[in-house]
């Protein structure tokens, strides 16, 4: 399974492997601390967000399409220029 950004695919695979292990071995067993995969998640996220910017996919647009009723706080992206 690929990532949106070709250069993120390897990071995505490593993160997914970490997540799958955490999900079955920790989360489903009632241990909710999600710091195990946090370092790799951060690197993968930076890559995906860069790819989204490059491909002009805006998360804010995505969020505005969704009526979840539970709007999460979002960093105001306007500060970036």
Task: Return residues touching another protein (CB under 8 A).
Answer: 1-4, 8, 10, 12, 14-25, 27-28, 30, 32, 34, 36-45, 48-49, 52, 57, 59, 61-62, 65-66, 68, 72
C-beta of 81: minimal distance to another protein in Å? 22
The span from the CA of 36 to the CA of 43, in Å, is: 14
Residues with Cβ within 8 Å of residue 42, at least 6 apart in sequence: none
C-beta of 80: minimal distance to another protein in Å? 17
The span from the CA of 61 to the CA of 74, in Å, is: 13
């Amino acid at each position: 399974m690929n990532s949106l950004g070709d250069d993120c695919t390897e990071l995505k695979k490593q993160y997914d492997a970490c997540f799958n292990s955490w999900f079955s071995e920790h989360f489903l067993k009632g241990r909710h601390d999600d710091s195990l995969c946090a370092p790799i998640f951060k690197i993968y996220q930076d890559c995906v967000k860069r790819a989204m910017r490059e491909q002009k996919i805006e998360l804010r647009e995505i969020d505005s399409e969704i009526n979840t009723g539970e709007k999460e706080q979002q960093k105001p992206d306007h500060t970036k220029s």
